[in-house]
Structures are given as C-alpha cells and as structure tokens.
Amino acid sequence: MQNMWTHLSSPRHLMVFEAAARLGSFTRAAQELNVQQPSISASIKQLETSLDVQLFYRSHRSISLTNAGERLFADVTRAFELLEQSSTTIRQSVSNDHVTLSASSAFNNYWMLPRLSEFQKIYPNIDLRLQTSDREPDLTVEPISLAIRLGTGNWAGCDSHLIAEELIYPVAAPRVMAAAIQLRNITGLLHQRLIHLEEPIRERPSWAQWFGAFGITEQPPRGGLRLNDYALVLQAAMAGEGFAFGWDHVVQPLVQKGLLAARPEWGWKTGKGFYLVWAKDNALLPQAKLVRDWFIENYGNSKS
C-alpha cells in the first residue's frame, strides 16, 4: 500500500483523473468537483509525473485517453465501484431500521403474507420488508438481512436453517381435478394439460424429472402452458389452465381453502429444502436476529 501511494502521490489525484476521464473534459471535471480548472490540470500533471507516463492526449478543445490512461481508468472505475458498494453496505447495515427478506414471489405471496399479521402482532415495531427477485442475492455484499433459498443448506459464506423440505405433488383447480377421469394412476397425468415452470435463472425441477422419480420414462407432452414465475403458475392452475407442481409448503393453504385440489399421495421428496439463509460474517442487527429467531422457533424444520 505504501508503494502505491509513492507511485500515485495522492488519492485525490485518482478522483480528479476518474472525473476527467469519465466526463472527457477538465472543465466539466472541475465543475463536478467544485474546483477551478487549473487545479484539475495540475492534479493530472502530478499524477502523470508520478507514474512517468502520459494519461491524456490534449488538444485545444478536447482531451482523450492514451492507452495507459484507458487501462488506469478501467481499474480506477472498478475500484471506485467496489468502494461505493462497500460503503453503501456498511452505512445501511448501521443505519437501516428495517429488515429485508428476499424470497421468490410465490413464497412471499403464499407463504409469508398469510403469516405477516401474526409476526406483526408479536413484533409491531419491526419494519419487515419483503423483496422479490428473479435471482439469488449475494448476502455477503448486498444489504439484505435474510433470504429464502432452495438447496441442500450449504452456501459459501452463509449460515442456514431448514424451513421446509422440498415436497412436490400435482395440483389443479378442483373442477379440473374432478374432470380428469384418467387419473387413476400417475401415468394418467401424461394425458393431461400440464403447466410448466421455466424460471430464467433459478434451477427448478421439470415434469420429466417428476415422472422419472416414479420410474416413468415416457416424456410428458411438449404442449401446455409455460410460465417463468411460480406465482403465475399457481394463478394459472387456480384459473383451470391445467395441472401444476404443488410445492407442499406453499400450496397447503390454497388446498385448505378449496382454491386448489391436490394429489399429495403422489408426492416427490427431492432431497432438497427451502432454507432461511443469512451471511455468516456480517453480524445481523438485533431486529434481523429477532426475525431469524421467529422463523426458526415457529417454522424451523429438521430433515428426517
């Protein structure tokens, strides 16, 4: 680190260089940094002298980066972005008075929301915010307290606790289930309209894998409805569009309310589970610890 500042003279010179390179102008850099233009020119000159290399081509009305300048600009930009991300995370971890739970839209809609009033009665002063995303957030760097993930419980840099085993069985609208006269056995589903979940980023089981778990090698029909979000899949199933995967921990309330009919006797345990996950090395704030402990005490599970 000492050698770096010997080469670069001052961290301020890097800030000046980044602004001038990004804006393509010493004058605009001076305006952004609220200094005089000669100060910008002097800082760039000192940096070039320290590095013993020319960073800008200068003409009467414009500047452009040399090859050395392009390389330094790329590295400085990346370093500044990392510093900004780190400072934002630290600031939010200290100052935020809310707890963020990241999960799929289906989990938040059909599992968490029905339990939210129960949580708020116990902890009325905790601002719990539900975040949905089509990707798995990196809890080690993003300002997210807790997340729900599907897997085996092992994620680098994270601790986890099992909430529910992954158990999948067919569900459909009650009228669709009642009209399916060929459903005396599992193979009868091969002749039904199926709703497929095809998420763009998260890996999810397919109907072919589900049939394969029961020793059925015949491929399911290629037709049917294909959706990229499980909440939409459940909406389509309740609307009578066909048979869908029923993740047990999500669809139980919908079955109890009569919005869906299920065949739980055809359940497939994949060996995976849905876990509450938090960063191992980022200390949870007291309110986030309360949310985590509420999950574990009331809905924590253990593999059998």
Domain ranges, ordered by start, for the chain: 2-94, 97-304
In angstroms, the Cα distances linking 119 to 105, 108, 125 are 19, 14, 10
Q: Locate all alpha helices (DSSP H) within 53-109, ordered by sequence.
A: 67-95, 105-106
pLDDT at 254 over 90: yes
Q: % helix / strand / coil in the chain, to the nearest 5?
A: 45, 20, 30
Residue 35, SS3 per DSSP: coil
Question: CB neighbours (10 Å) of residue 286?
Answer: 9
pLDDT tens digits, residue range 131-147?
887 677 788 777 788 99
More confident residue, 263 or 59: 263
Phi, psi (rounded to 5 degrees) for 63: -130, 155
3-state secondary structure of 68: helix
Helices (H), 157-197: 174-179
Q: Over the stretch 7-57, which tens digit does the pLDDT of each residue have?
A: 666 788 999 999 999 999 999 999 999 999 999 999 999 999 989 999 999
pLDDT of res. 303: 47
Name the pTM for this structure. Answer: 0.65
Name residue 129's amino acid.
R
- Does residue 233 come out as left (phi exceeding 0), alpha (psi in the -120 to 50 range) or beta? alpha
Closest CA to 80 of 22, 129, 147, 151: 22
Closest to 152 (Cα-Cα) out of 53, 10, 274, 244? 274
CATH number of the domain located at residue range(s) 97-304 in this protein: 3.40.190.290
Concatenate the DSSP letters of all residues of 220-289 into one string. PPS-SEEES-HHHHHHHHHTTS-BEEEEHHHHHHHHHTTS-EE-GGG-EEEEEEEEEEEESSSPPPHHHH
Q: What is the structure's pLDDT at 93? A: 53
* 2-94 is classed CATH 1.10.10.10: yes
* Mean pLDDT score of the chain: 88
